[in-house]
Structure 1
C-alpha cells in the first residue's frame, strides 16, 4: 500500500525515481519521475525543513550515484504541524522533518525552479555525515 507522500508524488503512474535533489539548511527540492518516462517530472519543495540524517552505509562503494535513483520507499508520518519523511533510494536514505511539499513550476526561459533562487545541488562526495557539520 502506498504512503500518503508516495500517492501525492507518483500521481498514479507507476514506479518513480529521484531525478534531482537539492538540499539547503531550511528546504529540500525534490524532482521525481516515473522510471519508464523520466521526462514526466514532478518537482516539489519541502519547506521549513530539518535534516535528521543521510545514511549511505548500505550502499556499495561501486554503486552509481548518478541520478536517477530508484525509490525503494518514501514514508510520511504527521509530526505536530509538520511531517516526518524518510526517502529510501537504491543508494541513500534521507530522513527529515518538514512541511507538506508544495509543487514547483519550471521557468520556461531559464530552466530554473520557481520560486527562483540558487540552492546547492546534493553532492555526496562533499557531504559530511556528521550531524555537527549540518
Structure 2
C-alpha cells in the first residue's frame, strides 16, 4: 500500500481539473488579474492543460507534465514573460480564490498555498521598480 499524497487528499484528477478551471476563470474575470491574463493566448485551453498536468505531478499524482514535456524548468519556461511582484500577486490572487473552492483539510490548504507562494515568488524575473530619488533635490 502506498502513502497518500496531497493529490489524493484533495480529490485527484477531478479536483485538480476543477482547481485549474476556477483559476483561469478568475484570471479571465478579475480586473486585478488583467496583467497576467494579457500574457496568455486568447484561448486558454493549452495553458489549462499544462497547468493541470504540472499540478498533477507536483501534488504527488501522475507525472503527466514530465511524461509529455520533460522536466518543468518553470523559471526558464517563464523567462520570456516579464514577471515581477505584481504579476506574482495577480497569479496568487487567482490561485487563492480557486483553492478556496476546493474542499480540503485546512492544514493541507495552508501547506499548498505556502508552497505555491514560494513557487510563484521563484518565477519573478524582473526587479521591483523603486521611485527614483535622483530628482528629489532640496
Structure with more of its chain in helix, by fraction: 2
Higher strand share: 1
Q: Which has the larger radius of gyration?
A: 2
User: TM-score, normalization: structure 2?
Assistant: 0.25
Report 1 or 2 for greater relative contact order, CA contacts < 8 Å, sequence distance ≥ 6.
2
